[in-house]
């Protein structure tokens, strides 16, 4: 029997990325994007569903008796009801290790861009301010800071966080790794959560979005940032309370914010994210969740996605997500 495979959000990959055909007899359908109310209809009769960010929850699974695998086209799993899938015998597999270097580089790039005020100075040149200057240089774009010997605090020491820390160390920054917010004890080679906030010149977030990390950078956390750090978020938008972030920027509790993620993606146009309204500020850089999207990383993700599907069909599933 031909296996039906449906990709709910194919547009997460650029057109240049090649998705190899699975190695078994199948019927393939894909959609650029899928709204929540379209999930059940599009997955009807489907054995293997592919989703990067489209939620598939327990009520959907109840209406999809043929569904046997959810192949996540990414690492994050918070959009899939893993417990319900496990109860129903649906295998969930995600992608691991395909973009650790790409996302780490993005975090470092945002850090340097904000420290050196590249957005402000680049815009000034475009507006003709340099041409109007009397001297060979123009200093009106704000403070330029070196990151040499600064404290780079990593929150989340998985493959991406560890690589961001390694790169920062190679560039002459003093790297610390923050303990979990709710930890009762501080592990060796970690720094207590509050202490890391107080020490940091750059904070780089690489945590998964789970109950204990939801909104972990809130008004209380910002108040502990003694050194007015640059805040980088290449993890998940929900790690940061965005109203508190706006307040921290307005009150200069932090010197800048570089985000590749928001709490809702894509952001609403009718009810704009309050942080998104600050995107024009010189000390704010928001990129559209593309830290992972180098050509190499996207192709690696696509290859691993198909490999996970082939392994499942062969009865030897790989990268299985467990409760």
Q: Which of the residues are catalytic?
A: 236, 265, 289
The residue assigned the tokens 């039906």 is 4
For residue 8, the tally of other CB atoms under 10 A from its CB is 27
Q: Are 60 and 36 in contact (CB under 8 A)?
A: no
Q: Are 48 and 69 in contact (CB under 8 A)?
A: yes
CA separation for the pair 129, 140 (Å, rounded): 9
Supply the DSSP symbol for 316.
-
Adjacency order of strands within the sheet including 69-72: 26-30, 3-7, 48-51, 69-72, 91-93
CA separation for the pair 307, 210 (Å, rounded): 27
With b meaning 16 or more CB within 10 Å and e meaning fewer, what string describes 29-53?
Answer: ebeeebeeeebbebbeebbbbbbbb
How open is the CA angle 181-107-279, to the nearest 5 degrees?
95
Q: Could you check whether the bond before residue 266 is cis, i.e. omega within 30 degrees of 0?
A: yes
Q: Are 46 and 65 in contact (CB under 8 A)?
A: no
In terms of DSSP bridges, do strands 151-155 and 174-177 run parallel, antiparallel, or are they unpaired?
Answer: parallel
CA separation for the pair 72, 78 (Å, rounded): 11
């Amino acid at each position: 029997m031909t296996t039906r495979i449906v990709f709910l959000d194919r547009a997460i990959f650029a057109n240049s990325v090649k998705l190899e055909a699975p190695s078994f007899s199948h019927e393939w359908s894909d959609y650029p994007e899928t709204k929540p109310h379209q999930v059940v209809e599009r997955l009807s009769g489907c054995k293997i569903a592919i989703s990067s960010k489209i939620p598939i929850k327990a009520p959907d699974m109840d209406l999809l008796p043929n569904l046997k695998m959810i192949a996540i086209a990414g690492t994050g799993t918070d959009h899939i009801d893993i417990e319900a899938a496990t109860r129903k015998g649906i295998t969930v597999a995600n992608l691991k290790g395909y973009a650790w270097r790409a996302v780490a580089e993005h975090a470092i790039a945002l850090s340097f861009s904000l420290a050196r005020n590249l957005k402000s100075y680049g815009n000034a040149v475009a507006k003709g301010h340099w041409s109007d200057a009397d001297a060979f240089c123009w200093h009106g774009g704000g403070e330029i800071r070196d990151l040499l010997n600064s404290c780079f605090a990593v929150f989340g020491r998985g493959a991406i966080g560890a690589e961001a820390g390694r790169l920062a160390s190679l560039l002459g920054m003093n790297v610390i790794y923050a303990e979990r917010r709710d930890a009762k004890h501080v592990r060796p080679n970690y720094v207590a959560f509050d202490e890391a906030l107080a020490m940091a010149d750059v904070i780089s977030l690489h945590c998964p979005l789970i109950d204990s990390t939801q909104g972990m950078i809130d008004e209380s956390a910002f108040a502990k940032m003694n050194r007015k750090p640059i805040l980088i978020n290449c993890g998940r938008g929900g790690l940061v309370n965005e109203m508190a972030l706006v307040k921290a920027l307005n009150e200069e509790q932090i010197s800048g914010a570089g985000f590749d993620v928001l709490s809702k993606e894509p952001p609403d146009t009718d009810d704009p994210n309050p942080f998104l309204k600050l995107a024009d500020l010189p000390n704010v850089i928001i990129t559209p969740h593309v830290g992972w999207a180098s050509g190499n990383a996207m192709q690696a993700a696509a290859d691993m996605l198909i490999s996970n599907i082939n392994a499942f069909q062969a009865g030897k599933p790989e990268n299985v997500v467990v409760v």
